[in-house]
Amino acid sequence: MVMTSVVAFVLGLMVGLTVWLRTRLRSDREAAELTLRIATFEKERAADADKLGWIDEAEVKMREAFAALAGEALRSNSATLTAQARTDLEGVIDPLKRNLDSLDGHVRDLEKARQGAYESLGHQLSELRQAHTKLQETTVTLAQALRSPTVRGRWGEIQLRRVVEMAGMVSHVAFDEQTSTDSGRPDMIVYLPNGGVLPVDAKVPLDSYLTAMEGVDEESRKHNLASHAKAMRERIRLLGHKQYQDQFESSPDFVVMFVPNEACLGAAFEHDPGLFEYAVDKGVLIGSPVTLLALLRAVAYGWQQQDMAENATKIAHEGQELYGRLQAFIERFAEVGDYLGRSVERYNRAVGSLDRRLMPAVKRFEELGLSTTEQEEPAEIAIVPSPPTTGDGTGEDRE
């Protein structure tokens, strides 16, 4: 048993030694191969280092050569380019110089013209400033004048007359001014067709409105416009109380209150929306220049239609009278034709009697030599007068 263990140990030792020897031999072989490879790599690295040194040296030499060549080429090209550029610039600069000289002349002319235009513009601006100043003064004067009730009333009458004349109406024919009545004197009465009369009043309060337009404070402006609307309502009440429309026969049931300013009327309506209904209830029709012009154009059209109707009536009357006279003339003319027919008939009878009873005796006297000239027999009239037509074109012409 011990012997077997020893043999097994020896065998195991021999196997382990064999394995160690093989491993050692393999390691030595690999180490030798690595050493060979390292030596080979060292040689290659040394060769690569030599190559890199040669490349660096060649690069430096090439740079020096290239710099020398580039400098020489640059100097040569610079001289050539300078000469060529000088030649080209001479060809460009000369025309450019001439163009610049011409442009300078044009600029000087334009500057002179601009100075003249500025002087003219300055003169025109001065005149415009003077005109604006005069307009402003006139506006202020007009605003001050309109604050006077007399001037304001006259201005309203002038505006009213202009509107009436624009409508194509003629004074003392289609309208009259300042006609007195029992309740006062309206500024104008417009004559309507069929004898109607339309009274117009142009006295409108404007003090509060003018004050509102001149004010810069919004609150005071609203207050003055409200006062203006109240003054308009009061004027409507006074016109309704005067009852101008009842002073004329065939007058409409309202009087026109003419407001010569559209903005004034618009401001009153804006601050008193019920003003129009109030005016209608009082028998007052508020009219601006536009609405009054439309109303007067309608009146003028009514006059035209009435004139056309009257002319048509006159034409019908004249036609009836002309027809009667023409009928009488036709009857007289027919009598003349009858007289002419009877005259022709009697003439032909006389010719026949002459031919039958007297002409044979005349022939015998001629045969006896009592006369050397031959007596001609009168001819009968074969034309018979035609009667007048009966109005339907069926009259016949008879010969």
Size (the chain), residues: 399
Q: What is the pLDDT of residue 395?
A: 46
- Give, rounded to a whole angstrom, the gap between the first and last alpha carbons of the chain: 197
Q: What is the pLDDT of residue 398?
A: 41
Whole-structure pTM value: 0.42
Q: How does pLDDT run along the chain (399 residues), one tens digit per residue? A: 556 776 677 677 777 777 777 787 787 777 778 788 887 878 877 777 777 777 877 778 778 877 777 777 777 777 777 777 677 666 667 777 777 778 878 888 887 777 777 777 777 888 888 887 777 666 555 555 555 555 555 667 778 788 888 877 766 667 777 776 666 677 787 888 777 778 888 777 777 777 777 776 778 888 888 888 888 888 888 888 877 666 666 667 788 888 887 888 888 888 888 888 998 888 888 888 888 888 888 887 877 787 788 788 888 888 888 888 888 888 888 888 888 888 888 888 887 887 777 777 777 777 776 666 666 666 777 676 776 665 554 444 443
Q: What is the pLDDT of residue 183?
A: 60
**3-state SS track over 271-287:** HCCCHHHHHHHCCEEEE
Q: Among all chains, which residue has been given the structure tokens 């190559």? A: 51
Q: What is the pLDDT of residue 180?
A: 65
Burial tier of 385 (Cβ tally within 10 Å: 0-12, 13-18, 19+): middle
Q: What is the pLDDT of residue 98?
A: 77
Query: What type of residue sits at position 60?
Result: V
Q: What is the pLDDT of residue 367?
A: 73
Q: How far is CA 313 from CA 6, 151, 310, 329, in A?
A: 174, 47, 5, 24
